[in-house]
Amino acid sequence: MEENVVGGAGRGAQDHVARIQADWRRERPDLDVRPQGVIGRLHRLADRLSDELRLVYGRYGLSEGEFDVLCALRRAGEPFERAPGELAAHTMVTTGAMTKRIDRLERAGLVTRRRSDDDQRGRIVALTGPGRELIDQAFTEHMHNERRLVDMLTPAEAESLETVLTGWLSRIEHRADGPVTRSGPPET
């Protein structure tokens, strides 16, 4: 059996996923557990990366979801506002979850809500001055943090990984049986 190793100090030792695969190969030799090597490592990596990213959000008093909402408003450009339904679409959460996030951000003075000029029944959510300052600072630190994490790869590895993940994500999101809904990390 071929051994999966962790680079650096752990060289020669099987990583967590490799140990699980070895157990399954022993217990269920009739199954091909190679996909678990990719999916299991991606899952573990996503958990670890999310933990690293949440450290920055926390320094600004934000949850992951609140950071995502502020980013979606900031990306909208002047006047930094969107309808709640638009925000839900841009952050891929339900409108109910979006309402809770907006409520918390409004209480913190980072966003405001007003009636839509076009539709008096509709609402518009906008960044406040303090909200814009906060997200500009938080996003700058977030990008430095992501750079730190990606710099654990060589430039060639990062480029190759981005290409592979882009293609795979595109295929999963546009499968013949319909797009996959998402409930994972924010799209910043």
Residues 6+ apart with CB under 8 A from 108: 61
Q: What is the pTM of this model?
A: 0.79
Residue 110 has pLDDT above 70, yes or no: yes
Please tell me which residue, 12 or 165, carries the higher pLDDT value: 165
Alpha helix (H) ranges present in the chain?
16-27, 34-59, 64-75, 84-91, 95-107, 129-150, 155-173
pLDDT for 14 equals 81
Residue 9 has pLDDT above 80, yes or no: no
Cα–Cα distance, 97 to 108 (Å, whole number):
17
Residue 180 has pLDDT above 80, yes or no: no
What is the average per-residue pLDDT within 5-16?
56
Residue 87 has pLDDT above 60, yes or no: yes
Domains and CATH numbers, the chain: 1-32 (no CATH), 37-173 (1.10.10.10)
Q: What is the pLDDT of residues 19-55, one digit of tens each?
A: 999 999 999 999 999 999 999 999 999 999 999 999 9
Question: Measured on CA atoms in the order 148, 140, 51, 171, is the torsion positive or negative?
Answer: negative
Contact 126, 80 (CB under 8 A): yes
Cα–Cα distance, 43 to 50 (Å, whole number):
11
Residue 150 has pLDDT above 60, yes or no: yes
Residue 107 has pLDDT above 60, yes or no: yes
Q: Dig out the tokens for 85 from the structure.
A: 């339904």
Give 182's pLDDT tier (boundaries 50, 70, 90).
low
Contact 169, 105 (CB under 8 A): no
Burial group, residue 91, by CB count within 10 angstroms (0-12, 13-18, 19+): buried
Q: Dig out the tokens for 13 from the structure.
A: 């030792």
Residue 80 has pLDDT above 90, yes or no: yes
What is the average per-residue pLDDT within 127-131?
97
Cα–Cα distance, 107 to 78 (Å, whole number):
22
Residue-averaged pLDDT of the chain: 87
Cα–Cα distance, 59 to 55 (Å, whole number):
6
Residue 2 has pLDDT above 50, yes or no: no
pLDDT for 10 equals 44
Size of the chain in residues: 188
Give 94's pLDDT tier (boundaries 50, 70, 90).
confident
